[in-house]
Amino acid sequence: MRLDLPLVDAHCHTVVADSPDRAAFELMLGEADRPAPEGVSYADSLLGLAVRRWCAPILDLSPGTGLDDYLARRESLGPEEVGRRLLGAAGLSHLLVDTGLGNDAGRAGPGEGGGFWSLATLAAASSADVREVVRLESVAERLVDSGVDADDFAQAYVEALRAATREAVGVKSILAYRYGFEIDLSRPSSDEVTLAARGWLDSLRSPDAAADAAAGAGRQVRLDDPVLLRFVLWCGVDRGLPVQVHTGFGDRDLRLPRVNPALLQPFLEAVEPTGTPIVLLHCYPYQRQAGWLAAVYPNVYVDVGLTVSHVGARAQAVLAEFCELAPFGKLLFSTDAYRLPELYAVGVAQFRHAFGALLSTWRHEGAMSAKDAERFARQVGSENARRLYSL
């Protein structure tokens, strides 16, 4: 079946304003953060093939055009035109943008700062309604420069989060990158938070850190204290908006065995009485575990973003695993696009192609009716997100 309805991209990021060269393009494509060894190209992957397949025609090239020719065409069109074409072709009704990456400086009032597109530019290119998802850890990291002291930290965070999320449709946790889920995730006490804030703020404001900052060494403000990570997560829950939680693969900054979403069970149970929905992002290779969580916890949802793009031609097989236990009313499409506008186009094309083919297969073998298939396509591609994020 043709799955051509306008989609809600329920988790994505901004894109770079410049034209990357081949080396940079290959790194922006995947999750590696340093060059491949001699003889290996990151673009020789299912994701790289998917870019050549789906994006080349949008730039007037044949599907499958080689990467050098693709990048030459990209260069000749210029990054603005490339971005406009790739985002414009995607057919997205909404972009729910995690502003904690790329556009951080411009979050309060998005501009073209830092070499990334503003939310306004994203909106213009995609003709979509752009809404914000606020990264919980970033709000804490931005507090450091405000001079807040430890005793006031908790209150200041709650206020900062309220201000930051005034227009937001959701919040996001990257605990997966800072600690993983093999940790007590209960709500910390006020005293614990104050104590932890003191330790964290002191370390950032030590003479050494100040000297580094003064020397332009780019002080690394990174929330990694486990008590504070739990604290901001629970502030997110209290805020009442859906909480997107990074689970499963990503870049090497996480430990894969510790980001299995099933490790979140005690947390999911603790959250349940609040009624706040939890959205498990990505999940791979734990998509089956995630499907089970969505089947047994009413407030748990699963977002297929990142995974569907990265596994390219395998998207149909992997999407099928997401569907094994999860009710269709709990599954959400997203691209998790970041840096390259190609990742918007690929995420969308791969989902339309693969989920469409999956539903068709099931329909033709008698597992569902045409009406069911259409309904599930609408749910996963759009309606679930509209309902969950109140779009």
Residue numbers 61-90 binding its own copies by CB under 8 A: 63-64
Tell me which residues in 95-124 interact with its own copies (CB under 8 A).
none
Q: Which stretch binds its own copies (CB under 8 A): 71-79, 158-166, 187-195, 323-331?
A: 323-331
What are the structure tokens assigned to 79, written together? 């990054």
Measured distance CA(262)–CA(251) in Å, rounded = 20
By rule CB under 8 A, what string of x and - marks binding of each residue 193-232 to its own copies? ----------------------------------------
Q: Is 57 in the site for its own copies (CB under 8 A)?
A: no
Given the DSSP bridges, would you call strands 300-303 and 278-282 parallel, antiparallel or unpaired?
Answer: parallel
**Among 1, 5, 17, 31, interactor with its own copies by CB under 8 A:** 31
Measured distance CA(338)–CA(32) in Å, rounded = 13
Q: Is 379 in the site for its own copies (CB under 8 A)?
A: yes
Q: Is 157 in the site for its own copies (CB under 8 A)?
A: no
**Among 162, 222, 364, 387, interactor with its own copies by CB under 8 A:** 387
Measured distance CA(49)–CA(121) in Å, rounded = 28
Q: Is 34 in the site for its own copies (CB under 8 A)?
A: yes
Q: Is 180 in the site for its own copies (CB under 8 A)?
A: no
Q: Which is nearer to its own copies, 162 or 252 (CB)?
A: 252
**CA-wise closest residue to 59 among 67, 269, 119:** 67
**Among 32, 105, 163, 211, interactor with its own copies by CB under 8 A:** 32
Q: Is 313 in the site for its own copies (CB under 8 A)?
A: yes
Question: How many Cα neighbours within 13 Å face the side chain of 2?
Answer: 3
Q: Which long-range contacts (CB under 8 A, 24 or more apart) does 100-108 make?
A: 100/134, 100/135, 100/137, 100/138, 100/172, 100/174, 101/13, 101/14, 101/135, 101/338, 102/13, 102/14, 102/15, 102/16, 102/338, 102/339, 103/14, 104/138, 107/138, 107/164
**Among 129, 159, 269, 390, interactor with its own copies by CB under 8 A:** 269
Q: Is 41 in the site for its own copies (CB under 8 A)?
A: yes
Q: Which stretch binds its own copies (CB under 8 A): 70-78, 102-110, 124-132, 288-296?
A: 288-296
* Residue count, binding to its own copies (CB under 8 A): 76
Let me know: does 309 contact 335? Beta carbons within 8 Å. yes
Tell me which residues in 237-266 interact with its own copies (CB under 8 A).
249, 251-252, 255-257, 260, 262-263, 265
